[in-house]
Amino acid sequence: MSLPKHPNNLQDPTIDYPDIDLSKALRDHSDAEVEGEFSRIAYLQNEEMAILETSEPAYYEVRVTPMDHDEFWLSGQLDAKVMQECARCLRPVAVELSLELGTLLRFNPKVETPFLEQDDAGQEIWIFNNSNLELSPYFAETLLIGLPMSILHDPNCKGLCMTCGQDLNERTCEHNQAVKIVPLEEQEEAARKNPFAALKGLDLPDE
Ligand SMILES: [Zn+2]
Ligand SMILES: [Zn+2]
């Protein structure tokens, strides 16, 4: 995942652009802090603009502390309810996340676009090139990584019918109810040929 271009030229009033001013941190090696809220943020995924939406405003607190050389430590807190789809029935689900932030930043004015790098030890470093650091891609990445692997609107979600797409939580459909009932004569016939075939009858539902 990479950072989008500075969004000023494509400013969309429905999208929030959280950022932090690091000019003093870069100049005087002093801490920078910002807090705020967002509901919709934009980020780039596979070079396409993607939107991450929260069901109510997400709250963030970010502190950037200068370290040695051109490196900074970003810490803070991010609380958000992210809209996702139930993995089985696709209805929207608000997933509540409360995440502690902690990431290394490195200032490099020579890079064209900010990006996320992994050092030899596997630690992630955000390389940034501007004293105004866009936080959207960082927040989006942090939230997406923080999501549980399997999201269900209800642990007992019945999902969708594979044939007609009916939401089986609402009602059953003919496909779901269709239980293969073998006529009695055929069962007896099969039982004569193969005594074990009769046991297949035990697979039928109890009703
Ligand atoms: Zn569901
Ligand atoms: Zn169906």
- pLDDT tier at 194, thresholds 50, 70, 90: low
Same domain, 120 and 193: no
- What is the model's pLDDT at position 116? 83
Same domain, 106 and 181: no
| pLDDT(187) > 80 | no
- Type of residue at 10: L
How far is Cα 110 from Cα 130, in angstroms, rounded to an integer?
10
User: Tokens in use for 14?
Assistant: 């429905």
Output the pTM of the full model. Answer: 0.70
Residues whose CB is less than 8 angstroms from the CB of residue 51 and which lie 6 or more positions away in sequence, other chains included? 15, 40, 41, 42
50 C-alpha to center of ligand 2: Å? 33
- What is the model's pLDDT at position 106? 94
197 C-alpha to center of ligand 1: Å? 37
Same domain, 136 and 60: yes
Let me know if residue 153 belongs to a domain: no
- What is the model's pLDDT at position 197? 47
User: Tokens in use for 97?
Assistant: 């996340």
138 C-alpha to center of ligand 2: Å? 42
| pLDDT(4) > 80 | no
Tell me: the pLDDT tens digits for 106-144?
Answer: 999 999 888 888 888 888 899 999 899 999 989 998 999
User: Tokens in use for 67?
Assistant: 């370290």
For residue 158, give the ligand nearest its CA.
1
Tell me: the pLDDT tens digits for 32-69?
Answer: 999 999 999 998 888 888 999 898 999 999 999 999 88
Same domain, 141 and 163: no
Same domain, 93 and 179: no
For residue 163, give the ligand nearest its CA.
2
Number of structural domains, the chain?
2
Determine the structural domain holding residue 50 and report its residue range. Answer: 7-146
Question: Where a domain ends, among 115, 146, 177?
Answer: 146
37 C-alpha to center of ligand 1: Å? 29
- What is the model's pLDDT at position 89? 95
